[in-house]
Structures are given as structure tokens and as C-alpha cells.
Copies of this chain bind each other. A is one copy, B any other.
Amino acid sequence: MLAATAVVPPATANGADPLPSWNDTAAKQAIVAFVETVTKEGSPDFVPVDERIATFDNDGTLWAEQPMYFQLLFALDRVKVLAPQHPEWKTNDPFASLLKGDMKTALSGGEPAIMQIVAATHSGMTTDEFDQIVRDWIGTARHPVTKRPYTEMVYQPMLEVLTYLRDNGFKTFIVSGGGIDFMRPWSETVYGIPPEQVVGSSGKTDFLMRGGVPVLMRLPEINFIDDKAGKPVGIHEHIGRRPIAAFGNSDGDLQMLQWASGGGGRRLALIVHHTDDIREWAYDRNSSIGHLDKSLDAARDNGWTVVDMKDDWKTIFPFGDKRD
């Protein structure tokens, strides 16, 4: 049946190809064969609509993550905006180096330095205020290389997969190491994924009445890190069902891919491999951003689908590619 479905071109109800930005290679055929099999009534691998859950990593899977995670670029922009209220930052690292434009020294403190930057820029306001800060930034900030809005730095072939799955009864979720409240203000417009279907890392919040008005204050404390073994935990907590399809691009997605593919029955586990240094970026085993090593080995050992961006994608971004 696999062979039979693989040679039939994928089609939507009106006969159009639902994945026009994909070359007709093994990756596209695997996606189409999976969707056709699990949606075919009477098939031994048929999955009822309610259980058609698909989870997507965000950074490097739905949108780009070079030259660094976009949420970190947001945090750096916020440090500049907030600096006048924090004279002590002039002398204290990582802030002092950041404000001097010396990114290398600023980030040399590793994860603790990054957490300091995140805490200083992501807490101390209400959830409604943070929502507005993110909306303002995402509506005006530009990617340092392409000068495009970040919301255009999304992968056209993956947008097509999201729509194709939803057209076939799937519920699509983001499951990202990124901040849940950083993604929610724009996930519905950009991906068609509503806030309640976004799973991500989060800080603690505190409910209180402020002058008679109920608010949720964002605290400088980690609540949950939705990465690596945290991804199946976050999926269980938020969704309460096991995905039958999962999409990632790095070692941070390994456990999500294991969890989704280990459920019995027909499953799709897919890795986006960044192989195109001309149209996008090329990086994997030696990269700190989007580090892809164990997951690539696991893909080979388990027969997961690996997308070779260079060969499998006709188009990268809705506007073209990095050079446009």
C-alpha cells in the first residue's frame, strides 16, 4: 500500500497538490503516504480524527534560528530599551558587554548569563503587558541578515504541511523550547495555531488583585523547560494524548520524536536537516544552535524521515530565500 500511495500525487479536495513547495522526493512521499494511510477508513492504521495530534518544534523547524534564536534577539533588543531604567547595567555583565555591542563577551557566561538576560526582560510585568511587548516587537523588528520581519522567516514547505494536516483532521500543536508566551501572540496569525495549542518553556506567574484589578505577574523564576526529556512531559501535561506525528530539527527534539513514534501503529517522525548554506543555513553536529547529532543517528536507526532542505524543498521562505 505504501508503494501504491507513494506514486499517486498528493491531492486536496479540489485536486491541487497540497505540498507544492516540496520536490517529489522520499520526504514528501513519506508525509503523503502517512496522511493517506491514517485517514483511510477501514485501513488497519486508520486513526480517528480526535487522535490525530501532530506536534511541531518551532526554532529551526517552523521558522529559522540563525544567526541566533530569535527570542534571544528579542531579549537583546529589550535590554537596550530597558537600559535607562537600569544604570547598574553599565558596569555589570552580561548587560555591560551587551550594551557595548560586545555579544561574544556577553554570552561567554553561557546559560547563567542567558538566564539573567531572560529574567531581566521577561519578568516584572503582567502577562497582558508582556503580550503587548511581544506584539510590538514582532510587528517592527527585522532579521539581521534578510531585513525581513521575523514572521516572514518561516518555512513555506512547513506551512504547507500544517495546512495539509489540518485539512485532514489533524490538530496541530507547537512544542518548543522557546517561551510559551513569546510564541502565543503571533502563532495563530503566522501558523494558524491558536494560543491553547502552543506548548513551550515558561516562567512562574503569580495571581493578585492590583487596585481591584486581577493580574498575573510574571516572576523571574523558571516554571518549566520544554526541551529534550521535557518535551514528552510538556506534551502529556498540555495535550494528554500522544502525538501520532512529530516534527523537529535538533537533539532537543529527540525525546519528542521517540515518544510520538513509540506509540504503536503508523507514526510519522520527521527531522528538518539544515543542508542549504546558500538559500538558508547549513549546520548540524557541530552547531550549538540547533545541535543535531543524536537525533540524526536515531533517525537512521529508526527509519525516521529526514528532510534534506537543499534537495527536498523548492522554496524556503514565503518570499524566496536568504538572498532575496
Contact = CB atoms under 8 A, between A and B. Distances in A.
Interface stretch (A39-47, A150-158, A206-214): A206-214
Interface string A164-205: 000000010000000011001000100000111110001001
A123 B238 CA distance: 19
Please tell me how many copies of the chain the complex holds. 2
A208 to B, nearest CB: 8
Contacts of A214: 232, 255, 258-259, 262
* Candidate in A53, A180, A205, A232 with the most chain B CB atoms within 10 angstroms: A232
Contact of A181 (B194, B216, B230, B240): B240
Contacts of A12: none
B216 A233 contact: yes
Contact of A236 (B127, B213, B233): B127
Interface residues of A, number: 37
Contact of A240 (B195, B232, B233, B258): B195
A111 interface: no
Given A213-B262, A214-B232, A262-B213, A241 B207 contact: no
A232 B233 CA distance: 21
Minimum-distance CB pairs A-B, first 9: A195-B240, A214-B262, A207-B229, A207-B232, A214-B258, A196-B239, A184-B240, A214-B259, A195-B241
